[in-house]
Structure 1
Amino acid sequence: MTVSEPVAPSLRSATITIGIVWVVSALGAVLVSLFAQSDARMQWYPIVLAVCLILSFCLQLSLDSKVGFVNRLSVSVGGAVAILAIATVVAVVVPSA
């Protein structure tokens, strides 16, 4: 019986799973900006972030590799936080119609 070395997922699959979370974050920010009332937007951005966090965990666990899990999770959630932070600043600075 031999013990195999842990193998990291391919760069392409890791990039795709991170990109999916970022796209969902950006799409959620746009949908909140378009459809939420101006006084309720700040309540919806954390909900979008929670969805992105759960989605990120699901996608990274689906890669079936523990090598680089924390790095992939950090990048995907960090990017979602950055996107939503930019959306929050834009929502505060730009007056709603």
Structure 2
Amino acid sequence: MALPELAPRRTFGGIVAVWVLAALIAIVVGVFAAPDWRAAWLGVGLGGCLIVAFATQLWSGRSQGFTERVAASILGAALVMGVISLGFGLAALVPG
């Protein structure tokens, strides 16, 4: 018999925290990495976001919806990193 949680922790904050981390990683990679190495470093950054997403969701202590929360974290992180890298790619096309 499962007991209901008396005061469940909020889980959306952990998902958004991974998205913010992904944005920070993408900006740092876009600014400091050489254009030829940006894609490789973005992959490394996304791997780091995966580890942080697992750690964040394990820390919340809720087993219900664990897979969905981690998937939402990683999918959002990939989208955030993709949009930011698209911006850096378009900026590289503009002559300056």
Instruction: Give the TM-score normalised by the residue count of structure 1.
Output: 0.84
Q: Deviations over 1:49-87 (max 9, x none)?
A: 000000000000111110111111111111001011112
What secondary structure, in the 3-state scheme, does the structure 2 residue paired with 1:38 have? coil
Distance in structure 2 (CA, Å) of the matches to 1:9 and 1:68: 13
1:1-97 equivalence runs, <5 A: 3-5=1-3, 7=5, 9-10=8-9, 13-95=10-92
Distance in structure 2 (CA, Å) of the matches to 1:81 and 1:47: 12
Identical-residue share of aligned pairs (%): 31
Q: Note closer, same or farther for the CA distance 1:67–1:6 as it changes in structure 2 (3 Å cut).
A: farther
Dislocated runs of 4+, deviation >4 Å: none
Name which of structure 1's ranges 54-63 and 67-76 shifts more when overlaid on structure 2.
67-76
Distance in structure 2 (CA, Å) of the matches to 1:69 and 1:81: 18
Distance in structure 2 (CA, Å) of the matches to 1:33 and 1:88: 7
Instruction: Give the TM-score normalised by the residue count of structure 2.
Output: 0.84
Is there any run of 5+ residues in structure 1 with no aligned partner, and where? none
Kindly indicate whether the alpha-carbon contact (under 8 Å) linking 1:9 and 1:67 is maintained by their aligned counterparts in 2: no
Q: How many residues align?
A: 93
* 1:6 CA drift (Å): 5.4
Distance in structure 2 (CA, Å) of the matches to 1:6 and 1:55: 27
Is there any run of 5+ residues in structure 2 with no aligned partner, and where? none
Query: Which amino acid is 2:3 matched to?
Result: E
Kindly indicate whether the alpha-carbon contact (under 8 Å) linking 1:6 and 1:67 is maintained by their aligned counterparts in 2: no
